[in-house]
Amino acid sequence: MVIQESDLSNIERLRWQCRRGMLELDVLLEAFLEQHYGDLPPRLKRLFVQLLEFPDPVIHAWCVGGEPPEDEEFLQLISTIRQTKVA
């Protein structure tokens, strides 16, 4: 997928992309978008937009399933996502 600059700032679109097939991801990704996304450097914003294109079970395994990604950059993003307050 080619990510445009405008994709990074289209929060409404991202909010709908956070609607997933798994409740865990709905809750975590939506909360992350509200709490942390705005403060991310463009590099990580871009990575988040990319993350949303991954299949649900992959995002689930990375964020909730205790199987973190090997890629360093994604790892950094996922650890921020995991710090989101949802409880």
Look up tokens 């097939």; give the residue: 21
Candidate list 1, 23, 41, 42; residue touching another protein; CB under 8 A: 23
* Residue 38 binds another protein (CB under 8 A): no
* Residue 15 binds another protein (CB under 8 A): yes
* Residue 3 binds another protein (CB under 8 A): no
The backbone torsions φ and ψ at residue 19, rounded to the nearest 5 degrees and listed phi first, read -75, 115
Number of other residues whose CB lies within 10 A of the CB of residue 41: 8
Number of other residues whose CB lies within 10 A of the CB of residue 31: 16
The pair of structure tokens assigned to 19 is: 């609607």
The pair of structure tokens assigned to 60 is: 């689930």
From the list 1-9, 22-30, 33-41, 42-50, the region that binds another protein by CB under 8 A is: 22-30
Binding residues for another protein, rule: CB under 8 A, are: 10, 12-13, 15-16, 19-28, 55-57, 63-66, 82, 86-87
